[in-house]
Structure 1
Amino acid sequence: MIIEALKSFLIGIVEGITEWLPISSTGHMILVDEFVKLQVSDQFLALFLVVIQIGAIMAVLILYFHKLNPFSPRKTAVEKKSTWRLWGMVVIGCIPAAILGFAFDDWVNEHFYNKVTVAAMLILYGVIFIVLEHRNRRRLQEAEAAIAAPRGRHARIADGDLADEAEAQLFKITEVDDIDWKTALKIGCFQVLAMIPGTSRSGATIIGGMLCGCSRTAAAEFTFFLAIPVMLGWGLVKAVKFIAAGIAMTSTEIVVLVVGIVTAFVMSVISIKFLMGYIKKNDFTVFGWYRIVVGVLVIGYFVFETMGMLP
């Protein structure tokens, strides 16, 4: 039991770090499972890889409790109304995943939960991040030049808000509260792509948000909030299916689940704080390169394994 708890602890660390970074938590956990095999039933493993995300969701609820709480006595009537509106946008954004996720969950598990798919999606979305951020940098430079030109050659030095003005032109939505229902629905459609392991739910929705005109901060925060009903709902569906199948957890499996959830919570708090601090001064290019490198290493590893060149 202790060995399995330690394995769950490791998986919880991976979940907590990768759930919120755009590098695919499920993809990483599938890959970790190739090397750290939990001695549990296949049915429990499928449940564990989803339900462990409850720990990650609890981190969001605690870190953003005030922002997400429409009943806070510290909020004015206007602020409470804004909070209810934000929850409305979250619900709208979850509609595509709720419909397609429920319909195709088992089919996706059967056909796409494998190392080849994970590696391919890691590389594909890594390239998309790099291309998207390259485009954003070029557009920001063009916007800065257009703003500075009428002010003279020293405008960049004299006006410290030049970069902020350019970013405001590039990203029409700089605050998560400004997301409207059309944008929320579009981002929700991108979230559906995360059904394929290796895609990254946060990666897909952040890309979708930026393509819809959201700043990196607004896109990331909306990604966190979208995860609450989607991941809780997905976990509930998995749990119901597990119980309906008449399968009982062993004592070891219960310990594994608890350790994984708690560890995922702690690491998620750290991961979210890091990401929000990082993107205030940086873009997502480094995550794109990380995905490509990991994807290539995964392909190389399993090619060598297939050829019998690894022990």
Structure 2
Amino acid sequence: MSYFEAIILAILEGLTEFLPVSSTGHMIIGSALMGIEPSPFVKLFTIVIQLGTILSVLVLYWKRFFKSMDFYYKLVVAAIPASILGLLLNDFIDSLLESPLTVAIMLVVGGVILLFVDVWFNKPTVEDSDKITFKQAFIIGCYQCLALIPGTSRSASTIVGAMTQRLTRKAAAEFSFFLAIPMMLGASMVKLLKFFKEGHSFSSQEINLLIVGNVVGFIVAIIAIKTFIDILTKYGFKAFGWYRIIVGGIIIAMLLSGHSLQII
């Protein structure tokens, strides 16, 4: 992997991780267009650069993390369903990752849902994500399980789940950001442990690539989060729905034209 490729993937990660558009789908298209060959380090890179995007949430919302312990407990409760299911279905999920068609279909299906979500859940009563109950946090966590299907989007599933619990669009998006921290941190740690357990190690260039990827992802994620909140508050989800449908259509078109897409 070159520095240019690392920067492009980090930009894609930073832009799409917190938006309801599926970072996996964008990684497929980006890696395919650049011709990146899958390798243990490349697979690790796409997960570990999430640490930079996690830091962006901590920087933007640092005051929220000092309010009360209940806030942390609710995040833990919301993280439990997907964590358990992810461990139980790890091999099955990995097999789905080998199917670009699955990703494309879920992008389109999720896009169609986002076209109507503003109409379905248009009477919110919770304007602050800190005010949700433990039951609501758990239900949102159950919706996050849908994101185990590649192409669904963790952000989309948790935001929609939060809106079913009568959170406003902004509150739902912010809780989704917070919930990303334990999920992405856990995924990064598991991936690192597996990488070293399999006998791999980092070269000096690979360490530099990880540093560059995390820094770029951090900067881009800050911009993406701020922009997303503004767009979401003013216009809702429809634009993101159409965007998902277009991206899913592009992947399907590439597959039909004979491209062999590798999911990294």
Normalised to the residue count of structure 1, the TM-score between the two structures is 0.79
Aligned to 2:221: 268
Shift in Å, 1:115: 1.7
After TM superposition, the structure 1 = structure 2 runs for residues 2-151 of structure 1, keeping only pairs within 5 Å, are 4-38=2-36, 42-68=39-65, 70=66, 80=67, 83-136=68-121, 140=122
> Does the 8 A contact of 2:127 with 2:167 survive in 1?
yes
Q: CA RMSD for the aligned pairs? A: 1.7
Quote the offset at 1:64 in angstroms.
0.7
Q: CA deviation at 1:294?
A: 1.2
> How far is the alpha carbon of 1:255 from its aligned partner?
2.5
Equivalent pair of 1:30/1:114 in contact (CA under 8 Å): no
Instruction: Please state whether the residue corresponding to 1:60 is helix, strand or coil.
Output: helix
CA distance in 2, matches of 1:46, 1:104: 19
Structure 1: stretches of 5+ with no match in the other structure: 71-79, 141-169
Q: Where in structure 2 are there 5+ consecutive unaligned residues?
A: none
1:304: which partner in 2?
A: 257
Spell out, residue by residue over 1:157-208, the C-alpha distance to the aligned partner (whole angstroms, 9 max, x if none): xxxxxxxxxxxxx112121111111110011011111122211110110011
8 Å CA contact 2:50, 2:214 repeated in 1 = yes
| Contact 2:21/2:153, CA 8 A, preserved across alignment | yes
Identity value in percent? 41
In structure 1, C-alpha distance between the alignment counterparts of 2:25 and 2:210, rounded to whole Å: 19
Query: d(CA) in 2 for partners of 1:106 and 1:245?
Result: 17
Greater Rg over alpha carbons, structure: 1
Kindly state the Cα deviation for residue 256 of structure 1 after the two structures are TM-superposed.
2.2
Match of 1:193 in 2: 146
1:211, CA displacement in angstroms? 1.5
| Corresponding position: 1:226 with 2:179 | yes
- Residue 306 of structure 1, CA deviation: 5.4
Match of residue 236 from structure 2: 283
**Distance (Å, rounded) in 2 between the aligned partners of 1:217 and 1:64:** 13
SS at match of 1:279: helix
Q: Identify the residue that residue 133 of structure 2 maps to in structure 1.
A: 180
Q: Which moved more, 1:296-305 or 1:260-269?
A: 296-305
* Number of aligned positions between the proteins: 260
> Secondary structure of the equivalent of 1:259?
helix
Moved over 6 A (4+): none
